[in-house]
Structure 1
Amino acid sequence: MRISETLAKLAANRLPIQPATRAPNRLTPLTGFGSNPGALAAWRHVPATLAPGAPLVVVLHGCTQTAAGYDTGTGWSTLADRAGFAVLFPEQSRSNNMNLCFNWFESLDVVRSGGEAESIAQIVAAMIAEHGLDRDRVYVTGLSAGGAMTTVMLATYPEMFAGGAIIGGLPYGGAPGVSAALGRMAGREDRGTAALIDSVARVAGTPAGRIPTVSIWHGGADPTVAVANADHLAAQWRGVHGAGAVPAAVEHGKGWEHQRWTRDGRVVVETWRIAAMGHGVPIDPAGPDRLGAVGPYMLDAGIDSTAAIARSWGIVPATVTKAEPAKTATRPTPRTPPPRPPVAAGVQKVIEDAMRAAGLMK
C-alpha cells in the first residue's frame, strides 16, 4: 500500500484523543488478580442479593471508553441487579493504548500467555473464585476493539466461556500490525474461510463439547469496521462449530435481520444486522427493558442488544424484564470531526500521530 493511501486510511479511522468519558460509576475495583502481564485494570458489579453459583458476564469496552461509561451506556449492571448475575469490566489504560483500545492487533496480546488476553483470563478467574460464581456460565461481550478482544478470548480461552457476543468487531487472527489491522477493518479478508477456522484451532485445543456459542452484532452502515467483518466472523465460528453455511432460521424486523445456525438442535452462531446503524452498540432506552443511555457509540436503534444477548445466553427470562419507570432518551450531541494531523510536522510524525489516534500504536 502506498504511503498516501495508508495516511488517508489512518486519517479516516482516527479517533480524537480525549479525556475518558465521565459517567456515574456503579462499579467497584477488583485488584490482586495475578501477574497481570497486560497491565489492565478491572471493575465489577455484584448485586446485593447475588446467589451462590450465579452467572458472570465479562464486558470489554471500545476505544475512548471506560468501564463505567460503557456500563452506563449499555445498562449491564442494571440488568444484573434485576436478573441476579455478576458483571466484570476489564479496563484498558492510556499507557497501553492512547485511545484506550484493547490491543487486538498486537501479536503478544492475543495469545494465551504474556499479554492482555492472559490478564483478562486472570481477572475472570479471580472474580469467579472471590464470588463463588458458576464456571460453566461465564460469558463475554464487547464493542469494536472490545469486540475484537472478545473474539480473542473465545479463541484463546474457549474452556473459560460458554458464549460470547461481538459488537462491531472482527474475526480472530491475521492482523499483526497497522496495515493488516486497517485492511481487516475495511473488510478485506484474503485468508479464506479455512484459514479463518484454522486461526482459532491453532491457538488452543478446545475440550470436547466446550466450544463457545457466538452472537454477532453489526451496523449495516458502519463506517469504522466494515459490515463484511460480520460475515467473516460468522464463517469462522460456523466452521469451528461444524455448522452448515445455510442458516436454520432467518427473521426480519423493523430495520434488522436475525440469522441463526444450529448444531445438534442448539443455536451455536447467530448474526444481528441493523441496516441503518453506524458503529456502536444498539440500544433501546425507551423500549420495554429500559436499559442504557444514548451517547457516543451508544446508538438508539430500537433494539436492545444487552437484553437480547442476555436472553440468548439464558441468564434472564425470555419474557421482558421488569423495567424501571421510563426515562426520556436524549440524542447525542453531534461530534466535532477530529483535526487532521499537521502535514508540516514531517511524514514520520504524521504517520505516528495518526496511528496513535486510531488506537493502532502504543
Structure 2
Amino acid sequence: MLQLMFGKNYMVKNSKMSKRSMNDSEDVEYLCEEIVHIETISAALFILVFIFSVAGNTLLLCVLAVYENLKNVTNLFVLNLACSDLVFAITLPFWAYFYLHKDWVFGDFCCKFMTAAYFVGLYSSVILLTAMTVDRFITVVLHNYWPSNCVRRQRCAVGACVAAWVISTAASLIDAIKVETRTYWNNLTECSPSSDGLDVNVGHYVQVSLLFFLPFVIIVFCYSAILKTVLQPSNRKRHRTVVVVLCVVATFFICWGPYNILLIVETIFKPSACNDKERLNIAFHICQILAFSHCCMNPVLYMLSQKWQKHLLHLLPCDKVCRKNRERGIGLSTSVIQNTISVAQKSTVVLELHSK
C-alpha cells in the first residue's frame, strides 16, 4: 500500500539506461539517480509532526475531559477528531524509518496494522468533519423546519461518531488485507500491495471518491447554505461557532486536497524523462508533508480561542505556581496594609491621649 500512500518511487540508486531498441525512443526506459535529501527531510518532518500531534491532541483531550461538557455535540466531535488524529500520528515514525532506511523491518503484521491505522485516521477524520458540517447545517439553516431537540441531537451525534469509526475501520481492513511484506534481491523489505493490478487502482479510486471527494461536495453545499444564512443580520450571533467549524473543515481539505489530486495525477501521468520524474517526486513529497501535518493542526486551531487558551493555562502546572505566587503576594500585601492600619490607629490613640 505504500504506492497508494507514498506514491511511486521513480528514483533508484543507479544511472544506467536500459533499452529495448536504440532506434525506438519510446521504448527507452530511464533509471534516474535517487534524490536522498528530499526523503530524509520528509522523514525528519514526519517525526516533528508526530511529536506535535501527540502533544497537542493529548492536551486537547485533557482540556475536554477536565473543563468541557462532553455531552455537547461540538465537543463530542472534537473529542473524536482528536482521537482520529492520534491514530493517524502513531503511524508516522514507522513511515519515517522506512524513508530513511528503505527497509521495512517491522514484519508483516505491523505492515498490515500500520496500513489499517493510517486509513482509519484518514477516513474517520473526513467522515467526522462531514457529520460536523451537517450538524451545523441542520442547526443554522433548518432550525425552523427541524425543531431543536438536545437529546435527539446528541443521539444523532453519537450515532455519527460510531458510524465514522465502523466505516473507516471496515474500509481500512480492505486496504490492510491487500498489503504484505516483500523482500527483494538486495535483502531490502517493502510493505506494498500483494498485486499491482487494475483492481488495486480501481478500489483506491472508489474509496477516494466516496471518502474524500463526495464528503467535499457535501461540505461545500452545506457551507454555501450556512454562509448565506448567517450573513443575514438576524443570525450574526451564530458567526463564531460556524467560523470555528469552517476553519477546521477548510484546513483538512487544504492539507489533503493536493495530496489526493496528485495521487490520481501520478497514476495517469507517466513521466519518462528524469527531470520530469524528479519534479513530480518533489511535488509529491511537498504535498505529502502538507497532508500529514494535518494531524497536528486541529489543536492549534482550537487553542486560538480565548476560552481554550484559558482552559489550557489552568491545566498547565506553571499556571498553578503563578497563581500561588499571586495569592502569596496578595496575602503579603494584605498583611502589610493591615499592619500599617494598626500602627496608624495606635498612633492616633497616642496623639489623643497626649492632647488630653
Same structural fold, with TM-score higher than 0.5 when normalized by the shorter chain: no
Compare relative contact order (CA 8 Å, sep 6+) and give the higher one, 1 or 2: 2
Question: Greater strand percent: which structure?
Answer: 1
Question: Greater helix percent: which structure?
Answer: 2
- Choose 1 or 2 for highest CA Rg: 2
Normalized against structure 1, the TM-score is what? 0.23
